[in-house]
Amino acid sequence: MPAFAYQALAADGSVKAGSIEAMDRSDALRQLARRGLQARSIQSASAAKPDKKAQASAAAAAKSEQGPLIISKADVIRFTEDMGDLLASGLQVEQALQAMENRSASKLGILATQVRDLVRNGVPLSAALRQSSSSFDELYCNMVAAGENSGALDDIMDRQARHLRLMEAVQAKVTGALIYPAFLFSAGAALAVIMVTYLLPKLASLLTGTGKEPPFMIKFSLALSDFLRGYWWAVLIFIALLVMTLVMVHKKPAFQSWWHRLMIVIPAIRDVTRARFELQFFETLGSLLRGGVPLLPALELVRRAVVNMHLKAALTQAEALVQEGASLSHAMKKTKALDSQAIDVIRIGEDTGHLAEVLGKAAARMDTQLTRVIERVTALIQPCLLLIMAALVGGLVYTMVNIVFSTLNQLNHH
């Protein structure tokens, strides 16, 4: 019986290496899965060293010719959907990659070629994707590895495609909710600049002809108008320097911690951040558990995917509690990472023994809930911005009308 050298990920996150006797590579994968190991690479022991050298040289040649391959999120989704469809139709992984290689002349064709070369040399698809492109993150590759171990790679790819589509839709909802408020603010600011730099000087000429001392508000507005018209270049330089400073400061851990704290403290923004985090947590953890990933490695992958530093820290504490033997619901309640309703959902899943299915169904409901939260927050932000713009533009209009009346009064007194 031939021997296969392997590297695999254990349930505690450690990497195991060794050899196993099996009829073929698929049999070796099944034996590792029964041991609770997720294969990272597996190949014939007799050809392991030559294969590694050939793989290293091929990877080095590809990188020297093409550089690191980076594809967009849309291409990642398309690759996942196409692979899922081809595998579901009965093709093997290498055959599916060859079909994608022939079908696409874009970066996906180059990606399929690189991944197929690695798979042909005995590298699992999950490891081949990780080596071929940085666009496939740790979460994605671990989901593919779980599919390889369980023998249901086509289902995993289909589930992963739905997950990516859902996360893309969530991002689009949040971005779309900010477009109209940003338009209102930009339009109001542009109108204010036009009124200060063009309309006020025109009206001020009426007042200067009388020779009378103008009121303070009018003097201040005219001085601001003169400054903007005379030193507009300095204002642009200041804005550019301010933007550059904010970009540099944004990378500092202290600023990121402060900013992430605001995202979970400000009332309206807090609701969107919490709803988005809960949806991401339920959907990602449910997909990983359904794919056969153990709870602790799944929690670690979910934590890595979270952006907010404070929520990430709460998940780190929850992960430590689960590792010590606490239930997931108890850990989430103690760290206050989720609200009480979300914790009740997790508790129900644990009590029934169907945590993955319960999380998946809850994520579908949370998508609708997130939409409602975004609509409510948007409906609240818009009138607030309108009030601010009305106060700004109204103050400028009042100043101009005051100029006209002051001019008319002074002309009447002549």
pLDDT in tens, 10-22: 666 566 777 888 7
Domain check: are 94 and 110 in the same one?
yes
Burial class of residue 5, CB neighbours in 10 A (0-12, 13-18, 19+): buried
3-class DSSP assignment, residue 136: coil
Q: What is the CA radius of gyration of the chain?
A: 30
Q: Are residues 119 and 174 in the same domain?
A: no
**DSSP 3-state percent helix, strand, coil across the chain (nearest 5):** 80, 5, 15
> What does pTM read for this prediction?
0.57
Judge whether 345 and 358 are in contact, CB under 8 Å.
Answer: yes
Nearest Cα neighbor of 16 from 44, 38, 47 is: 38
Beta 15-21 vs 38-44: how paired, if at all? Answer: unpaired
What's the domain count of the chain?
A: 2
State the residue range of the domain holding 410: 152-414
What pLDDT sits at residue 215?
61
* pLDDT for 62: 43
Burial of 11 (0-12, 13-18, 19+ CB in 10 A): middle
Q: Does 101 share its domain with 45?
A: yes
The pLDDT value recorded for residue 64 is: 37
CATH number for the domain that contains residue 178: 1.20.81.30
Alpha helix ranges (H) inside 195-215: 200-208
pLDDT by residue for the chain (414 residues), tens only, comes to: 677 777 776 666 566 777 888 777 767 767 776 777 766 666 766 544 444 444 444 443 444 344 457 888 888 888 888 888 888 888 888 888 888 877 665 778 888 888 888 888 878 888 888 888 888 877 778 778 777 766 677 877 887 787 778 778 777 777 776 777 778 778 777 877 777 777 777 766 666 655 556 666 667 767 777 787 778 788 889 888 988 888 887 778 888 788 888 888 888 778 888 888 888 888 878 877 877 778 888 888 888 778 788 888 888 898 889 888 888 889 888 888 888 888 898 999 888 888 888 888 888 788 778 778 877 777 777 777 778 777 877 777 776 677 667 666 766 665
Sequence letter at residue 40: R
Q: What is the SS3 assignment for 19?
A: strand
Which of 151, 186, 214 marks a domain boundary?
151
Considering the domain architecture, whether residues 143 and 178 belong to the same structural domain is answered as no
Same domain, 189 and 207: yes
* Last-in-domain residue among 151, 171, 196: 151
**Residues 199 and 261 reside in one and the same domain:** yes
Q: Residues 172, 302: one domain? A: yes
CB 331 within 8 A of CB 322: yes
Residues 40 and 170 in one domain: no
Could you tell me if 251 and 307 lie in one domain? yes
Residue 40 is predicted with a pLDDT of: 60
- Domain-terminating residue out of 151, 175, 207: 151
pLDDT value for 55: 45
195 and 129, same structural domain?
Answer: no
CA distances from 316 to 122, 150, 275, 312 (A): 35, 28, 19, 6
Torsions phi, psi for 41 (to 5 deg): -150, 145
Contacts of 348 (CB under 8 A, 6+ apart): 358
Same domain, 139 and 256: no
| Judgement on whether residues 135 and 165 belong to the same structural domain of the protein | no
